[in-house]
Structure 1
Amino acid sequence: MDVQSTARDGQDKARRAANSSAMDAAARWGFASRGVIYLLIGVLALRVAFGSGRQADKGGALAELGAKPMGSVLLWAVGVGLAGMALWRLSEALFGLSGPDGSKAGKRLLSGGRAVFYGFSAYSVLAFAVGEKGSGKGSSDQESRDVTARALELPGGRWIVGAAGVGVALAGLWIGGRAVLRKYHKHLKLGEMSRVQRRFVDVAGVGGGSARGVLFTAAGVFVVLAAVAYEPDKAKGFDNTLRSFTDTPAGPWLLAVVAVGLALFGVFSCSMARWRKV
């Protein structure tokens, strides 16, 4: 067998693995794991709105999960689920997404970026599960300030940070806009869902996606402000971004609305674990 035949056989095996039932299960486990994290962030943010000081970000969610009975097992389950999500997104980047336009370069590149993101997320959760200090449970606010400070020290650092902030803000607008327009419908098995189920998923999808979009947009704006002022402390992670909503005229009620929305996104992610086309 020549080298080309061997390579083709390897590609065929990899493609079959990407389309296997195991990969389907990995993707669905990943959606459920993402749902658990966002549901907990939403609950923690709601507590912040009504006076609790608990950290409302992924680190706070992991600490909350780890404190539950069998918390270590739950952390491992979430970490493995996120790793499964990373593998599924990687398979999309390599072999294309489902659907008629799934082979477009832009979509595959986006899946590649998501694979990297979920890979890092899985690592941080699993590191936290095995007790590695400083992993997973760290404050997103401190991480944001540290990264911003290092970036500002680079040549053209202010422009780099500003561009990153604009990118995050635009991503938030894109996330919220797609949620409002119900773009997720094309990824759902709508024919297998009842009218009540579709309505339930729409409430969670639109409300949750909009809240997630608002959060990303606000976080991006704070990064831009840090670049303009050349002050890394102005950059905020999810926790301080959420808390900043209480400084608006709406006060804690705006935070409460966004918190409920983030919890809804957690519910939506769990719904995707059931109804998503993979």
Structure 2
Amino acid sequence: MTSSHTHGHRSRRGGRSVNSPAARSDERAALRSAGRAGFVARGIVYVLIGVLAIEIALGNRGAQADRQGALHQVAAQPFGAVMLWLLVVGFACMALWRASLAVLGERGRKKTGSRVLSAARAVFYASVCWGVAAYASGSGGQSTGNAQSQDWTASALKLPGGQVLVGVAGLLFAAVGVGIAVSALRHRFLKKLDTARMTKRTREVVTALGVAGGAARGAIFAAAGMFVLVAAVTFDPKQAKGMDATLRSFTQTPAGPWLLVVVAVGLILFGVFSFASARWRKL
């Protein structure tokens, strides 16, 4: 009797079984909220990076168009410290949600490949969360994205077979960028959105945001990957570039600063698309 009573007590929280449908529903709701918070945090950072990139295109060479520069902008605002920690929470939520997809599987996509991709994204957002937390606490985050990319490349090139390793990494990064752009142009992101709850006009706007934003984001990934590949071929880590230097490289094309403006606007639109994902993503 006592054993049975103890077991019943352990299997319940607040009068509700931890394995009950209601409890599982609460857990899923919490994970959905975490995912939405993560998309908002991502959107804020991309909008700020896009704005900084436009400033660079217009002649402000002191701007830093990457995550570090975005954090500088946030910190400079009233209640900047609070806002930074809210971003930390947002990215932690994104990492948690991505990790849950790796364990439980994404809606309609239970295959191993999808789970592995979710796990990789969880690790990425966990690293972003750590970097933002280090910046917010003042214990790190002084190194620019460009310096970090070059340091990583230099360390990798020193490894046995490092030149091949860096070359493969560059190709994979470029391939991911192309994949992101192609996926955006083919409107694949709409499958992950609850378009049934959108009006026709809203769907058109969100589709435009996803296409333009995804294409710009993919272009940056692809360009950064190509710079890593060049670093491998030339055995020169200084050829590798972070987001800031990659964006600046667009000004050196025949289109000049205007290409950077186009890409920067695309990043801002991707940030707005992230806000739309927070609202309509199937979580």
TM, length-normalised to structure 2 = 0.91
2:90, 2:147 → 1: CA distance?
26
CA contact (8 A) 1:76 1:126 kept: yes
> CA separation in 2, counterparts of 1:190 and 1:268?
14
The question of 1:65 aligning with 2:74 is answered: yes
Note if 1:236 corresponds to 2:241.
yes
- Corresponding position of 1:108: 115
| 1:16-27 equivalences in 2 (<5 Å) | 16=24, 19-27=27-35
CA contact (8 A) 1:18 1:91 kept: no
Partner SS, residue 89 of structure 2: helix
Q: Which amino acid aligns with 1:249?
A: P
5+ residue gaps, structure 1: 2-8
Equivalent position SS for 1:20 = helix
- CA radius of gyration, larger in: 2
Identity of aligned residues (%): 49
Please give the secondary structure, in 2, of the residue aligned with 1:113. helix
Aligned equivalent of 2:170, options 165, 169, 192: 165
Whether 1:94 aligns to 2:99 is: no
Which of residues 60, 81, 84 is equivalent to 2:90? 81
CA-based RMSD: 1.8
Q: Does 1:219 align with 2:224?
A: yes
Q: Given the two structures, how large is their TM-score scaled by the length of structure 1?
A: 0.92
Instruction: List 4+ stretches of structure 1 deviating above 6 A.
Output: none
1:47-93 per-residue CA deviation (whole Å, 9 max, x = no partner) reads 00000121100000011111111111111111101100100110110
Structure 1 CA distance for aligned equivalents of residues 258 and 273 of structure 2: 22
Residue 18 (structure 1) shift: 8.6
Closer/same/farther in 2, CA of residues 229 and 18 from structure 1, 3 Å limit: farther
CA contact (8 A) 1:172 1:214 kept: yes
CA distance in 1, matches of 2:78, 2:64: 20
Q: CA deviation at 1:19?
A: 4.7
- Which residues of structure 2 form unaligned runs of 5+? 4-11, 13-17
1:176 to 173, 181, 191: 181
For residues 24 and 270 of structure 2, the distance between their equivalents in structure 1, rounded to whole angstroms, comes to 31
2:131 aligns with one of 118, 124, 134: 124
Deviations 1:142-179 (A, max 9, x none): 00000000000000000000000000000000000111
User: Following the alignment from structure 2 to structure 1, what is the Cα–Cα distance between the partners of residues 81 and 259?
Assistant: 34
Match of 1:152 in 2: 157
Q: Residues 79 and 17 from structure 1, CA distance in 2 versus in 1: closer, same or farther, beyond 3 angstroms?
A: farther
CA distance in 2, matches of 1:105, 1:261: 32
State the AA in 1 paired with 2:176: A
Change (3 A) 1:17 1:94: farther
Question: For 2:278, what is the secondary structure of its paired residue?
Answer: helix
